[in-house]
Amino acid sequence: MFKYLALFVVLAHGIQGQKIIIGLCPRVNVQENFDLDKYLGTWYEAEKYSEPFELGGKCMKQVWSGESNGKISVLEQLIKKNSGKVVNGDNTAKFVGNRNEAKLTLDTPGVPFGAPYWILETDYDNYSVVWSCIDTGLLNIRFTWILTRDRHPSESIMKKAYAVYDRYNLIKTFEKTDQDDCPSEF
């Protein structure tokens, strides 16, 4: 029992802010008939589970661009509030299985394994609900993001995204991403 408690403490400290839950990842469905071409482009992060990479940052966005050799380029960018420095994350995504199913893996340089990047629902023009859950045996580690095409989405768009979490009884303790005073060219 002590080793499981120690594992929990280590994971909780190392993952800071992500949701760590006892048990297996919940079953969720992903977007059917997924169309990558419609998904490409810029997505602004509206809300998420707290994420260490983004601490002290604002204006977080993802830019999805063309596919080459089965890999999709996903540039993540944010601006550090204290310095104004732009931080880039050059990632690649690839489909897990069927290309019509919105189950992807996101690979980040320097990380030895890819993370699940499942698009639970998107209308391509306004919002995308992204889910990631990693089973560790005794625990699962959850990440989620609400992405939107506008930096400041309307309340009705956010309600559509929240409804996806309600459908699966997923935890909705989000952190709002600061998208204020972002440079127009960013």
Say if 181 falls within a structural domain: no
Residues facing 93 on adjacent strands: 72, 106
Around 2, how many Cα atoms within 13 Å sit in the side-chain half-sphere? 0
Say if 145 falls within a structural domain: yes
Say if 184 falls within a structural domain: no
Identify the CATH number of the domain in which residue 60 sits.
Answer: 2.40.128.20
How many domains does one find in the chain?
1
Annotate 98-158 with DSSP letters as a single string.
-TTS-EEEEE-TT-SSPEEEEEEEE-SSSEEEEEEEEE-SSEEEEEEEEEESSSS--HHHH
Q: Please answer whether residues 69 and 76 qualify as being in contact, where contact means their C-beta atoms are separated by less than 8 angstroms.
A: no
Domain hosting residue 29, numbered range: 2-176
Q: Taking the chain (186 residues) in consecutive chunks of 10 residues, what is each chunk's mean pLDDT?
A: 38 53 94 97 94 80 93 96 94 95 94 93 99 93 96 98 94 92 89
Say if 166 falls within a structural domain: yes
Say if 158 falls within a structural domain: yes
Predicted local confidence at residue 7, as pLDDT? 41
Say if 185 falls within a structural domain: no
The reported pTM is 0.87
Q: What is the signed CA dihedral for 59, 116, 130, 52, rounded to 10 degrees?
A: -40
Predicted local confidence at residue 52, as pLDDT? 64
162 φ/ψ angles, rounded to the nearest 5 degrees: -60, -35
Predicted local confidence at residue 122, as pLDDT? 99
Predicted local confidence at residue 2, as pLDDT? 34
Predicted local confidence at residue 134, as pLDDT? 94
Q: To which residue do tokens 């320097």 refer?
A: 110
